[in-house]
Each structure stands twice: as C-alpha cells, then as structure tokens.
Amino acid sequence: MDQEKYAIIDIGSNTMRLVIYTRDKSGRLAETENVKAVARLRSYLSASGRLEDKGVEILIHTLQSFQEVTRHHNLQEVKCVATAAIRQANNKQEILDKVKEQTDFSIRILSEYEEAHYGYLAVVNSMPFENGLSVDIGGGSTELTLFENRKLIYFYSFPFGALSLKEQFIKGDMPTSSELKKLRAFLDKQFQILPWIQNKKLPLVGIGGSARNMAQIHQELIEYPLAGIHQYIMKRKDVQTINDMLLSMNFDEVQRVEGLSKDRADIIIPAIEVFSYLMNCIGTDTFVLSRKGLRDGVFYSELIKDFEDGLFPNVVEESFYELAVDYDINLKHAEQVSANAVMMAQEMEEYGTFTLDPKDIRYIRLGSAVYNLGSYIDADASHQHTFYLLANRTIDGLLHKERLIVALIASFKNKEVFKRNAALYEEWFTKEELAKYSLFGAIIKLAYSLNATKRNIVEEIEINSAGEELLFNVYCNSDWTPEEYQVEKQKKHLEKQLKKPIQFQFALSE
C-alpha cells in the first residue's frame, strides 16, 4: 500500500527548502526528505523594492529542480509558501504569475502574522513551555511572539533578518569593531520599541537555521553526549561564548567551525547578536532551540484543526502515544504497570521510605509507560536498547535532561547497569538524584513483574512494616501464581536499594 505523503516548499529570504513528510503508523507526519537550496533571494531586492530578474530566475530554476523530486514521489498537491523576500517585493504579482506558468507550483505569500503564528504553533505543539517568547530570524525578517498559557498574546515582525543585517552593516565577511558597534546600537533601538518583551524573564525559543546552527556549534564545542537538537538549552553565557569565539576567528576559520553550515558562515554573527540582545531585553538566562518551525506550524494548523486553538491538549502524552505505536507497546499493560508503580511509590512515601514531589510521580508514570521498550528490537538486550532509544530520540515535550531521566528509569535492569548508563552524565545530577532515579527504576521493574502475564489482575497495593521487613499486600482479581513467581525473582533489586527485606502477600480483592 502506498504511504500517505505530504510536501511543503518554504521560500525564505536566504534558503529555499523542499520537505516531504510521510505519515507513519502512529498517524504522525515524519520528515522523510529534506532538500535545501541557498538562493539568497533577499540579495536581489533592489533599492526600489523590486526582486530583480536574476533573483526571479534563481527562484524559478530552484522550484523546477524541486518539482523533479515531487514528480518522482507522485505528489500532486504541494504547499508552497513564501516569506519576507517575496512579501517585500513590489513586483510580487509578476513573480507569482511566472512561477505558476513555469512550474507545477502556486506560491502562497504568508503575511507577517501568519509567519509568526505558524512559528508559535510549532513551538507550543512540540515543547513543554506554557509561557515564553519565540524568535524566528530568517534572511529578511525576524518574527517575535509572546505566548502565555500556550495562547498567542503578541506578535511583531521586524523587516530585517540575518542576511539583510549583514548587507546593511557588514561590508566584508567578518564585522569590524565599528560595524559591530553600529549593528548593536541598531538592535538595541529596535528592540526597545516593544514594551511587552522588556524584562519578561521568560525562556527565549529560537526557530530557524541560524538558531539551529548556534546550538549545533555549542554541542560540538562541549562534546555534548546526547543526540538531538530540538529542545536543547543554552544559557546566556553559552551564547556569549559562541559569539566571542566566532568574533576571534578569521573567515576561513569560521567556515570550518563544526556545527556551522558553510553557507551561513557570513551571517551567523548578526543572528547571534539578535539572540544576545533579545536575551538582555527579556532578562532571561534561557535560550531553547526549536527544531520545529514554520513548515511544521503549517502542517499543525491542518492536522489538529479539530483541537481547540489548533493545540495538542498534552504534548508529552502525544509523544508517548507515538512511542507506543512505533514500538508496539501494549497500552493496557503499560497503564497497569504505571498504576502499580505509582501505588507502590505512594505507599512507600506514606510509610516514610522517601518523599515524592509531582515531578517524581510524572517520571515514574513516564518511565513505566515505556519500560522494556527495547524488547521491540531484541528481548535479550532489551534494557540496553531501551536506554539508547529513549536517550537519543527526540521526544516532544521533554527537555534533554528529562528525557535522560526517563531513559535511566525505564531501562533499569539492576543497580550496576544503571550506574554504567548514568556514568557519562554524572555531572548532570547530584548523587541523591541518581540514587532516587535508581530506586524508581527498581520500583518500576517490580511493578512490571506484577503484570507479568499482562492480565491486569492487580487492583490495590498496600505496604506495612513487619519488624525489619516491608510487607507488600497485593490484592488481585484473578490467580496470581505467575506474578508471584516473577516478583520473588525481582524483589532483590528493591531490597538492595532500600536495604530492607521485602515480603509479598497476595490475596483476592473483595
């Protein structure tokens, strides 16, 4: 059966991109093809505002090369959207007519609001932030949005981007000190006109190629151990470090910087200056990279239009549903394991074994939902595969550290394996945190054993003390012999963590 495919062409001021998405078995649209061309259309906008013939020629030639790909994939309907370079051209109708005549595509020019709105949709449907500011710096415009409680409150589009700032302020490939001073004075003046960004102290979410390149440079610089760039966090000092490093180099050195696309080498510094100045205005120490942007926002607006305001009700739940489908997780079994684990943890807290906060319960629920996920690949090495898959797969709605916590908990086999998995990331956590997450892993492993036959027989768990022992009273709605056998095998892991013997007592529910 042919897979369902969709495509979008994004005509930006600096780059043009064709992206093809294929609907996977979970219903999600996964990116399967990504073709990029550096067109720099903004460079062909004349002083009078006309997109020069050379620019139109490059536009049409690039679209014709894209149509070879779309025809190969038998894509009949392709969304083709354009932003600032075409929007700002005073001969836009002539451009639209020529594209329609000479290619398979019809261009839709996005308004400033639409461009900002699609970026906002991409952020709130793929990240955990309820409140924040987003910045999407393209070649010829910069869109800012403020969202609160996941609702778009304000937006503004500045008529400058990384490429136009470079053209306006920097004559050579690298800025001189005087050029940099003028650029900074200009940005300072521009950002002061928006009262709703001043001292907001909210995370700044960066969208687009320049933001992505800055984050990639930082990951390479610090030898970041996790895969993935989406939801990657940088502090203000990290942004400054990257800027200072690039400014200390000559252009040949900048072009060879790991993580930086060569075609962005001459415009990355103006872009980082924008991020730096915005962080100062907002009064934030948090910059977060969104791998999802305008193109994703266009599809979100179509795919989830039945939801209120076009928003997923819960980003993390949506992501974990996708994981369940992708790795054939039995949802009813996962719900029962989660219920068992939470009951055990809450009972142990009541007994005084440890203290839980809402985040801990969340980690236990999420870890339970994907425990033993790696058996999809190989049952004998399930725990190794579980850790690798969860630690290195982008999970929308989970920041990188949270994703690692879930990976550590869900891959728990024993205390020694947990320590080996955590070894590379020890500086991310305190000893107390690692001990807690290891304990959660042992609880989930035992909770999994309590549903060994996937019959969902456990209805209630109570914990009492019996001298030095902990007594787990487990009430079931059916025969528990297989579960009892598994529990007796696996309880040693929790006993080691608690330094207490554990006894299980099963009984029929009333």
Question: pLDDT for 51-62, tens place per residue?
Answer: 999 999 999 999
237 and 321 in a common domain = no
Kindly provide the b/e burial profile for residues 39-71, where b requires at least 16 CB atoms within 10 angstroms of the residue's own CB: bbbbbbbeeeebbbeebbebbbebbeebbeebe
Distance CA 159, CA 489 (A): 66
Q: What is the pLDDT of residue 394?
A: 94
328 and 342 in a common domain = yes
Question: Residue 18, SS3?
Answer: strand
381 and 250 in a common domain = no
Give the end of a domain, one of 109, 127, 161.
Answer: 109
**How many domains are contained in the chain?**
3
Distance CA 107, CA 326 (A): 35
Which residue, chain included where needed, has tokens 């595509």? 105
322 and 289 in a common domain = no
Whether 329 is in a domain gets the answer: yes
Query: Where residue 192 falls among pLDDT bands split at 50, 70, 90?
Result: very high
Q: Give mean pLDDT, residues 99-121.
A: 96
User: For position 140, which CATH number holds?
Assistant: 3.30.420.150
Distance CA 262, CA 268 (A): 10
Distance CA 258, CA 75 (A): 35
Q: What is the pLDDT of residue 465?
A: 83
Whether 168 is in a domain gets the answer: yes
501 and 412 in a common domain = yes
φ, ψ for residue 52 (rounded to 5)? -65, 160
Give the end of a domain, one of 240, 272, 298.
Answer: 298
User: For position 381, which CATH number holds?
Assistant: 1.10.3210.10
- The residues, any chain, with a CB within 8 Å of residue 144's CB and separated by 6 or more, are 116, 133, 134, 135, 154, 155, 156, 157, 158, 194, 197, 278
Q: Please name the residue ranges forming H helices in 372-501.
A: 382-392, 400-410, 415-422, 431-449, 481-498
Question: Residue 396, SS3?
Answer: coil
Q: Which two tokens stand for residue 223?
A: 């030898």
Return the bridge partners of 10, or none. Answer: 17, 81
231 and 188 in a common domain = yes
CB 484 within 8 A of CB 453: no
Q: What is the pLDDT of residue 353?
A: 79
Question: pLDDT for 418-446, tens place per residue?
Answer: 999 999 999 999 999 999 999 999 999 99
pLDDT surpasses 80 at 270: yes
Q: Which two tokens stand for residue 111?
A: 């308004």
Torsion 285-289-290-294 (CA) sign: positive
246 and 357 in a common domain = no
Cα–Cα distances in Å, from 175 out to 179, 184, 242, 268, 487?
Answer: 6, 11, 15, 11, 66
Question: pLDDT for 305-347, tens place per residue?
Answer: 666 666 888 999 999 999 999 999 999 999 999 999 999 999 9
93 and 123 in a common domain = no
pLDDT surpasses 80 at 2: no
Give the end of a domain, one of 109, 140, 166.
Answer: 109
Question: pLDDT for 475-493, tens place per residue?
Answer: 999 999 999 999 999 999 9
Question: Residue 259, SS3?
Answer: coil
138 and 104 in a common domain = no
Proportion of the chain above pLDDT 70, given as a percent: 98
Q: Chain-wide mean pLDDT for the chain?
A: 94
φ, ψ for residue 321 (rounded to 5)? -65, -40
Strand (E) or helix (H) holding 472: strand 469-476
Distance CA 156, CA 159 (A): 10
Kindly provide the b/e burial profile for residues 438-456, where b requires at least 16 CB atoms within 10 angstroms of the residue's own CB: bbbbbbbbbbbbbbbeebb
138 and 273 in a common domain = yes
Whether 309 is in a domain gets the answer: no
Question: pLDDT for 357-382, tens place per residue?
Answer: 999 999 999 999 999 999 999 999 99
pLDDT surpasses 90 at 76: no
Whether 305 is in a domain gets the answer: no
| DSSP output for 159-194 | S--HHHHHHHH-SSSS--HHHHHHHHHHHHHHHTT-
User: For position 89, which CATH number holds?
Assistant: 3.30.420.40
What number of residues does the chain have?
510
DSSP 110: P
pLDDT surpasses 60 at 1: no
Question: Residue 284, SS3?
Answer: coil
Interhelix angle 236-247/268-282, nearest 10 degrees: 150
Backbone dihedral region of 397: left (phi > 0), alpha (psi from -120 to 50 degrees) or beta?
left
CA 129 to chain centre: 11
Q: Which two tokens stand for residue 407?
A: 């990976």
Whether 304 is in a domain gets the answer: no
Question: pLDDT for 127-180, tens place per residue?
Answer: 999 999 999 999 999 999 999 999 999 999 999 999 999 999 999 999 999 999
Query: Where residue 304 falls among pLDDT bands split at 50, 70, 90?
Result: low
Q: Which two tokens stand for residue 382?
A: 């399930």
pTM of the model: 0.93
**Beta pairing, strands 5-11 & 78-82:** parallel
Q: Give mean pLDDT, residues 176-200.
A: 97
Query: Where residue 121 falls among pLDDT bands split at 50, 70, 90?
Result: very high
Q: Which two tokens stand for residue 115?
A: 């461009």
Query: Where residue 24 falls among pLDDT bands split at 50, 70, 90?
Result: confident
Whether 303 is in a domain gets the answer: no
CB atoms within 10 A of CB 237: 8
DSSP 264: G
pLDDT surpasses 60 at 89: yes
Domain span at 285: 113-298
145 and 84 in a common domain = no
Distance CA 82, CA 76 (A): 19
Strand (E) or helix (H) holding 374: none
Which is nearest to 145 in space by CA: 125, 115, 165? 115
Written as one letter, the residue type at 67 is: Q
Which is nearest to 227 in space by CA: 322, 291, 132, 136? 291
Distance CA 309, CA 306 (A): 8
Which is nearest to 243 in space by CA: 222, 286, 272, 265? 272
495 and 398 in a common domain = yes
